A and B are shown apart, each in its own frame.
Chain A
Amino acid sequence: MLRKRVIPCLDVTAGRVVKGVRFVDLQDEGDPVELAAKYAAGGADEICFLDITASSDGRETMLDVVRRTARNVFVPLSVGGGVRSVDDMRATLRAGADKVAINTAALADPGLIDRCATEFGRQCVVLAIDAKWRGDGWEVYSHGGRAATGRDAIAWAAEGAERGAGELLVTSMDRDGTYDGYDLELLRAVKAVVSVPVIASGGAGSVADCVEAFEDADADAVLAASIFHRDEITLASLKAGLAASGVAVRL
Chain B
Amino acid sequence: MTRLAVIDHGAGNLVSVARGLEQNGARVDVVTEPTGLAACDGVVLPGVGTTGSAMERLQSQELVAALDAWEGPLLGICVGLQLFFETSDEDDTACLGFIEGRVAQLESAPLLPHIGWNDVELATDPLFAGLGNSTLFYFVHSYAPVPANPGDAIGWSEYGQRFVAAARRDNRVGVQFHPERSGEAGLAVLANFIAECQRGRRAA
Residues of A within 8 A of B (CB): 1-5, 40, 45, 67, 70-72, 74-76, 90, 93-99, 118-124, 166-167, 195-197, 220-221, 250
| A45/B116 in contact, CB under 8 A | yes
User: Contacts A98-B178, A196-B111; is A3 near B20 (CB within 8 Å)?
Assistant: no
| B12/A221 in contact, CB under 8 A | no
User: Which residues on B sit within 8 Å (CB–CB) of A124?
Assistant: 12, 48-49, 140
What's the minimum C-beta distance from B66 to chain A, rounded to whole angstroms? 22
| A121/B50 in contact, CB under 8 A | yes
User: Which residues on B sit within 8 Å (CB–CB) of A94?
Assistant: 12, 14-15
Interface residues contributed by chain B, number (CB under 8 Å)? 38
Report the separation of the CA atoms of residues A111 and B51 in the bound assembly, to the nearest whole angstrom.
22
Task: For the A-B complex with A67-B15, A93-B13, A197-B113 known, give 19 more contacts whose Cβ atoms are closer than 8 Å.
Answer: A45-B116, A70-B15, A70-B19, A74-B187, A75-B182, A76-B140, A90-B10, A98-B13, A120-B12, A121-B79, A166-B112, A166-B115, A166-B140, A167-B113, A195-B111, A196-B113, A197-B111, A220-B111, A220-B115
A-B contact count (CB 8 A): 111
CB within 8 Å of A: which B17-52 residues:
19-20, 23, 48-50
- Cβ contact of B181, chosen from A71, A75, A121, A197, cutoff 8 A: A75
| B117/A122 in contact, CB under 8 A | no
User: Which residues on B sit within 8 Å (CB–CB) of A90?
Assistant: 10, 12
| A74/B180 in contact, CB under 8 A | yes
What's the minimum C-beta distance from B37 to chain A, rounded to whole angstroms? 22
A sample of 25 inter-chain contacts (CB < 8 A) reads A2-B116, A4-B116, A45-B117, A70-B19, A74-B184, A76-B138, A76-B140, A96-B15, A96-B16, A98-B13, A98-B16, A98-B178, A119-B49, A120-B48, A121-B142, A122-B113, A123-B113, A124-B12, A166-B113, A166-B115, A166-B142, A195-B112, A220-B111, A221-B116, A250-B117
User: Which residues on B sit within 8 Å (CB–CB) of A97?
Assistant: 12
Report the separation of the CA atoms of residues A235 and B196 in the bound assembly, to the nearest whole angstrom.
36
User: Contacts A70-B15, A71-B15; is A2 near B49 (CB within 8 Å)?
Assistant: no
User: Contacts A120-B48, A121-B49; is A74 near B183 (CB within 8 Å)?
Assistant: yes
Report the separation of the CA atoms of residues A118 and B56 in the bound assembly, to the nearest whole angstrom.
14
User: Which residues on B sit within 8 Å (CB–CB) of A40?
Assistant: 183
Report the separation of the CA atoms of residues A118 and B91 in the bound assembly, to the nearest whole angstrom.
10
Report the separation of the CA atoms of residues A99 and B16 in the bound assembly, to the nearest whole angstrom.
13
